[in-house]
């Protein structure tokens, strides 16, 4: 190659390196704008697929579930068919979307019911064993795999190829502090553009930045979660209960729905604690929390209100339905402690409950809590181990 040709090639390489570092800088800044994990995922995949980013046709993100020993699909971005690809690219070219535009479109992506690839990726769960294919090997060996030839393609599970509608692709591990968190899979399934060694090098550098962003977000979310959890029972604490009740009440108002609040108190707890000691008392509160949580519906919100008092927010639930539920809980707790020989029969643990419902009994959060608490007081005053509903007749009492 003549000197001019070498100089031109060197200039192109320098331009590419400058673009790579500039892009990494931009994306790293974008990832620092949020600590929400799902938004981090979206920014990562946007950077991989946007024309101003790395420009792959599609990108998929998988994370390790250490507890189950599997790799789980988290998010996928890009078309699933040639026809879908044509529509997407036409829309992008018409709107001349930049990387910032893609990132700003996060809320629309979340609501998109036609994101077929995203749905498919979220359904993938791969055991972390050497015989489970390239994605599992990417995690186990902590290194990229380039499936860019027919020979390499023979190593890929045909079912995975069919599911993802891909022939040639590259996987890279997502790392943070020498720990493999997950993997990225990218391809050019529709424009068939070859994935070069330079692309893989850039993808690997990008994955290192992405891995750190994911780890930071996880640590943040764990810290936020722990600050909202009652240390003893692992239920939501009082502060989080107040926040969730405000949210659910506002949602009920906007959607013209009802909402019931159950306040529960553990009967005879002071005697139990004084007789058997604080260790047994703490254990009883944990057992109580387990019963309340396991018997509640998936969308009910169980919290420790304080001391031996608990609360359950029941969205879109009538007062009668809440009463039936509270009675079932009461019977469950009574039966659980019925054979407890360590305490006198008349002083065994039971629960009393008070129920109030929006909008029938209260229009505000404070009114709802106060009136459920008033019904609870009446249940305790009437002899414990019973469920009372708030009525206007109770309003002048206590």
Residues involved in catalysis:
308
Q: Count CB neighbours of 25 within 10 A.
A: 11
Phi, psi values for residue 128, rounded to 5°: -85, 80
How far apart CA 330 and CA 349 sit, in angstroms, is 10
197-227 helix and 3-31 helix, angle to the nearest 10 degrees: 10
299, 300, 306, 309: CA torsion to nearest 10:
-160
Q: 4 near 17, Cβ under 8 Å?
A: no
CA angle 88, 167, 151 (to 5 degrees): 155
What token pair was written down for 337? 């402690």
Q: What is the DSSP string of 181-213?
A: EEEEEEE-TTT-----HHHHHHHHHHHHHHHHH
380 close to 265: Cβ distance less than 8 angstroms: yes
Instruction: Say if CB 153 and CB 17 are below 8 A apart.
Output: no
Q: Determine the Cα–Cα distance for residues 54 and 45; give it in Å rounded to an integer.
A: 10
Q: Write the CA distances from 378 to 265, 268, 309, 310, 321, integer angstroms.
A: 12, 16, 15, 16, 20
Burial class of residue 294 (count of CB atoms within 10 Å of its CB; 0-12, 13-18, 19+)? exposed
Picking from 23, 167, 139, 15, the residue whose alpha carbon sits closest to that of residue 82 is 167
């Amino acid at each position: 190659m003549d000197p001019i040709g070498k100089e031109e090639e060197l200039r192109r390489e320098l331009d590419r390196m400058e673009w790579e570092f500039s892009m990494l800088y931009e994306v790293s800044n974008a990832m620092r704008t949020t600590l929400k994990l799902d938004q981090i995922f979206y920014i990562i995949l946007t950077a991989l697929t946007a024309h101003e980013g790395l420009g792959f046709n599609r990108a998929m993100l998988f994370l390790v579930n250490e507890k189950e020993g599997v790799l789980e699909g988290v998010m996928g971005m890009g078309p699933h068919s040639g026809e879908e690809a044509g529509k997407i690219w036409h829309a992008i070219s018409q709107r001349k979307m930049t990387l910032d535009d893609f990132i700003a479109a996060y809320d629309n992506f979340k609501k998109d019911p036609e994101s077929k690839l995203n749905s498919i990726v979220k359904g993938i769960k791969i055991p972390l064993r050497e015989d489970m294919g390239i994605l599992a090997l990417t995690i186990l060996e902590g290194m990229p795999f380039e499936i860019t030839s027919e020979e390499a393609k023979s190593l890929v599970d045909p079912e995975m190829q069919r599911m993802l509608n891909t022939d040639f692709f590259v996987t890279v591990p997502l790392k943070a502090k020498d720990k493999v968190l997950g993997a990225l899979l990218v391809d050019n399934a529709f424009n068939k553009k070859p994935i070069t060694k330079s692309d893989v090098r850039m993808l690997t550098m990008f994955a290192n930045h992405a891995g750190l962003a994911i780890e930071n977000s996880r640590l943040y979310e764990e810290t936020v979660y722990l600050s909202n959890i009652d240390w003893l029972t692992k239920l939501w604490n009082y502060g989080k209960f107040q926040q969730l009740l405000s949210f659910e009440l506002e949602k009920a108002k906007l959607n013209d729905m009802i909402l019931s609040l159950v306040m529960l108190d553990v009967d005879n707890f002071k005697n139990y604690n004084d007789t058997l000691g604080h260790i047994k008392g703490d254990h009883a509160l944990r057992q109580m929390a387990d019963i309340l949580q396991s018997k509640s519906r998936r969308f009910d919100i169980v919290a420790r209100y304080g001391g031996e008092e608990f609360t359950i927010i029941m969205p879109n639930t009538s007062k009668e339905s809440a009463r039936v539920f509270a009675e079932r809980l009461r019977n469950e707790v009574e039966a659980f402690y019925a054979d407890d020989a360590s305490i006198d029969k008349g002083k065994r643990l039971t629960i009393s409950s008070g129920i109030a419902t929006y909008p029938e009994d209260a229009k505000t959060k404070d009114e709802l809590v106060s009136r459920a608490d008033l019904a609870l007081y009446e249940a305790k005053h009437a002899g414990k181990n019973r469920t009372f509903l708030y009525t206007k007749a109770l309003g002048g009492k206590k």
